[in-house]
Structure 1
Amino acid sequence: MTTPSTGNTPKVVVAVIPARGGSKGVPGKNLRRVGGVSLVARAVASALAAESIDHVYVSTDDAAIALAARAAGATVIDRPAELSTDTASSEAALTHALETLGWSADVLVFIQATSPFVDPVDLDAAVARVADDECDVVFAARRTHAFLWRLTESGAVGVNHDASVRLRRQDLEPQFQETGAFYVMDAAGFRSSGFRFFGRVGIAVVDDLGSIDIDSADDLELATRVAPMLTPRAAIEVDAVVTDFDGVHTDDRVHVSADGTESVTASRADGMGFSLLRRAGIGLLIISSETNPIVSARAQKLQVEVLQSIDDKAAALTTWALERDVDLERVAFVGNDVNDLGCMALVGWPIAVADAHPLVLSAARVTLSAKGGHGAIREVADRILTAPGSAQPTLEELWSRSLPTP
């Protein structure tokens, strides 16, 4: 939608996300995943979710990033090699993007993919301030009351405080630290100045957790840990659900009798979950690294295809999806342990049960509230079948189908 302005003509708002392929600090950074979603896809999703942004573009020199950006819903602008070096400025990429678009934007939203937690509400508020001529530029920053120091030849000197008078931290005048997450600019002003700061500059104050910027492996680890806290309980929109068996359908324990016979405990709620998914036309598969008659018996009971004795689960999943023309971005994989990480890296919806290994929790886009063997599959089913705008039948309709015919 176009953004209203104080004048009679609505403003056209364009978001540009520069995302080059080269990165020395974190190789392949823009495709690294946080909460199971690549950084470039997260940036695109934030821009698309902002009501005020009309068009979303990703400027890149990298084919893999371009593919991920298009899959996320952005339009790709091919960036020349000379504008994709370590020394090339973001302003150069923005200028090239706007020149490619014929300078048709009134408001330019510059979003950096290295900030994985950009809130669309913050974007809309910043756009409104520029569109309504309150500011020429609005940038994201976090408020800080930190005591700042600088080193001189004679020692450390207070920057924002008198070191001889120790104020309470809350009594310090607040400072604002630029996060780099986004900059909203009047496009004509940017064209004239060639730089992101010009005219009347305003600050969009964002929360501390949402201000994380990824510039190192430690930053990436921090963002991965924080993601579950900042990701709302979202509906899962997929065409197929693939699961591990032990630790997902079961609580990862095995009961062994005196004669060596093994048995496990499964959840009837999970059985209903699979039944509802099957009736809704969702593709289903169980992949297990072991060969166990228990797995075969459970899969037969659930009427679910099963692949057993699989050493390379990721390869098996890829082959299965190709044979059925299923887009892996539209697949959910539910896992619990490290041998599931390969599959989780392939799919659009990597899901971890609540008691999964820490590495699996870090790789997940969704972490379930249910533990393995305690209704995890039913939780997945409910979140798929209640997706907003889903074309799937309602749970009530599916339930009525499961009743015996009178």
Structure 2
Amino acid sequence: MAAAGGSGERRGHLAAVILARGGSKGIPLKNIRKLAGRPLIAWVLRAALDSQAFDSVWVSTDNDEIEKVAKEFGAQVHRRSAEVSKDTTPSLETIQEFLQHHPEVDIVGNIQATSPCLHPLDLAKVVDMIRNQGYDSVFAVVRHHMFRWREVKVPGEGTVPENLNPACRPRRQDWRGELFENGSFYFATKELISRGLLQGGKMAYYEMKPEHSIDIDVDLDWPIAEQRVKRFGYFGKEVPTVVKLLVCNIDGCLTDGRVYVNQEHESISYSLRDLDGIQKLMEKGVTILLISQRNIHPSLISTMNLPCEVEVNTINKMAVLQMRMSEMGLSFYEVAYMGCSDSDVECLKFAGTSGVPVDASTAAKMTDSFSCTQGGGCGAIEEFAEHIITLMESGR
């Protein structure tokens, strides 16, 4: 379809199409596997729907479970044929089949289900490029600062640089880097697709932020993607985060987990930065409860000058958490929890918002929790507090 004359506006039906085959061999049914608490495909569906830039949003699949999840998150479903559901089938052929069954569609935005950090604003800007700026195809790129060298194919053969002068290596801040496709999306007109092209005509790239540019292909990508999504993903506009209670483990979160002892008394250390974080949350109306499995002496607690309530000798942390929730009339969705040890895992899994220091136990890190860059006793609580405030203020 050609752009309208005069104004340059391109009209016609614009459809978002997410390809989600059920037979992925790298990660079986990866498109609906939970990532940071939601099916993988739900992240891009939410971005596409909330952009309000598409006339329709579709998932093309051959699988009943994927169809169910797609409809649950607001997409229409196109049941693709077995002929375009093979391991070797190019995406282009699957999109061409979709267009054969949906002749009303004039422009396709092919969005990859494996790009969970996609944001609605990016999609809206790309649609504007297609609709109003005269481009026939637009695709996503990310900027990398990597030096390339020619591959050696014959033993003993020397290599040569392909994008740098070794005698004058540029500093990162002095080099703009290079643009690489990241696979997040490919927009193209029906006319191009019918000619066997996803890129052609008047082409343009859309540069995505590095933190939003991630793709999941194998299992090793999963934990990296999960942490990236928790920090930079789009969590939706319809359900804002509301935290009314933060329960935090003293041992290993407020402190570094060490206890200093002599013949008369014991002592612990903590960061004043974390007290600042606690104060920031309290100013936002969040109730703070610090807990410890240890029976810390009251005199030691009093010398810490903590601005919030402290409960020690808490053998069953979940019981303490649930009792406080009952007293305040809260659901798990309104609770944040920060822990670092295996005894915190149950609470971390149930809390609506959870966090762990960088030096937390493996079991604690494996929960669906925000992972701080700071360790216990070194600013992790402040970092988690800022994360909570960001979620609440952004409506995520």
TM tier, smaller: 0.5 to 0.7
Report the Cα offset of residue 91 of structure 1: 1.4
Deviation at 1:253, TM superposition (A): 3.1
1:147 touches 1:158 (CA, 8 Å); kept in 2?
no
Distance change in 2, residues 1:176/1:338 (3 Å): same
Does 2:225 correspond to 1:223? yes
Deviation of residue 254 (structure 1)?
5.0
Q: Secondary structure at the match of 1:91?
A: helix
Q: Check the 8 A contact 1:237/1:387 in 2, yes or no.
A: no
TM-score, length of structure 1 as denominator length: 0.63
1:364 to 341, 362, 368: 368
- Please report the RMSD computed on the Cα atoms of aligned residues, expressed in angstroms: 4.9
1:253 aligns with 2:293: yes
- Secondary structure at the aligned position of 2:151 is classed as strand
Residue of structure 2 equivalent to 1:144: 144
Separation in 2, partners of 1:231, 1:296: 29
Q: Give the equivalent residue in structure 2 for 1:115.
A: 115
Whether 1:103 and 2:103 are equivalent positions in the alignment is yes
Matching residue of 2:188: 185
Aligned residue for 2:47, secondary structure, equals: helix
Identical-pair percentage = 24
CA gap of 1:176–1:300, structure 2 versus 1, over 3 A, is: closer
Cα contact 1:107–1:131 (8 A) shared by 2: no
Could you tell me which runs of 5 or more consecutive residues in structure 2 were left unpaired when the two chains were aligned.
Answer: 250-287, 298-306, 373-378
Kept in 1, the 8 Å contact 2:14–2:56? The answer is: yes
Match of 1:203 in 2: 205
What is the deviation of 1:57?
0.7
Deviation at 1:224, TM superposition (A): 1.6
- 1:312 is aligned to none
Name the aligned partner's letter for residue 91 of structure 1: L
- Cα distance between partner residues in 1 of 2:369 and 2:98: 31
Q: Which residue of 1 aligns with 2:93?
A: 92
Deviations 1:350-372 (A, max 9, x none): 5315669576566437789xx9x
Alpha-carbon distance change, 43 to 341 in structure 1, aligned in 2, over 3 angstroms: farther
Superimposed CA distance per residue, residues 183-203 of structure 1 (whole angstroms, 9 cap, x where no aligned partner): 11112221x212312223211
Which 5+ residue runs of structure 1 have no aligned equivalent? 258-266, 271-287, 306-316, 318-329, 389-406
1:102-141 C-alpha deviation (Å, 9 max, x unpaired): 2212221000011111122222222222223532111101
Kindly indicate whether the alpha-carbon contact (under 8 Å) linking 1:145 and 1:173 is maintained by their aligned counterparts in 2: yes
User: Which has the larger displacement, 48-57 or 148-157?
Assistant: 148-157
How far has the Cα of 1:145 moved from its partner?
3.9
Within 1, Cα distance between the matches of 2:162 and 2:319? 69
CA distance in 2, matches of 1:67, 1:133: 37
Relative to structure 1, the CA distance from residue 108 to residue 168 in structure 2 (aligned partners, 3 Å threshold; closer, same or farther) is same
Partner AA of 2:68 in structure 1: L
Name 1:21's counterpart in structure 2: 22
Shift of the 250–68 alpha-carbon distance from structure 1 to 2, 3 Å rule, reads: farther
User: Does structure 1 retain, via aligned residues, the 8 Å contact 2:115–2:184?
Assistant: yes
Within 2, Cα distance between the matches of 1:293 and 1:202?
Answer: 56
TM-score (norm 2): 0.64
| Distance in structure 2 (CA, Å) of the matches to 1:53 and 1:213 | 23
Cα offset, 1:168, TM superposition: 2.0
Corresponding residue SS for 2:70: helix
Please tell me the residue identity of whatever aligns with 2:295: H
1:350/1:363 contact within 8 Å kept: no
Q: 1:364 to 1:4 in 2, by over 3 A?
A: farther
Hey, what's the Cα distance between the residues in 1 that align with 2:228 and 2:291?
A: 26
Alignment of 1:202-351 (within 5 A): 202-231=204-233, 237=239, 251-253=291-293, 255=295, 301-302=327-328, 336=339, 350-351=352-353
Q: 1:43 Cα shift?
A: 0.8
Post-superposition, which runs of at least 4 consecutive aligned residues in structure 1 deviate over 4 A? 162-165, 169-174, 232-236, 243-250, 267-270, 288-305, 330-345, 353-363, 365-368
Q: CA deviation at 1:18?
A: 0.5
1:95 deviates by: 1.9
Given that 2:43 and 2:234 are in contact with CA atoms closer than 8 Å, whether structure 1 keeps it comes out as no
3-state DSSP of counterpart to 1:92: helix
Confirm or deny that 1:54 pairs with 2:55: yes
Change (3 A) 1:216 1:140: same
Partner of residue 33, structure 2: 32
Q: Aligned-pair distance for 1:30? A: 1.4
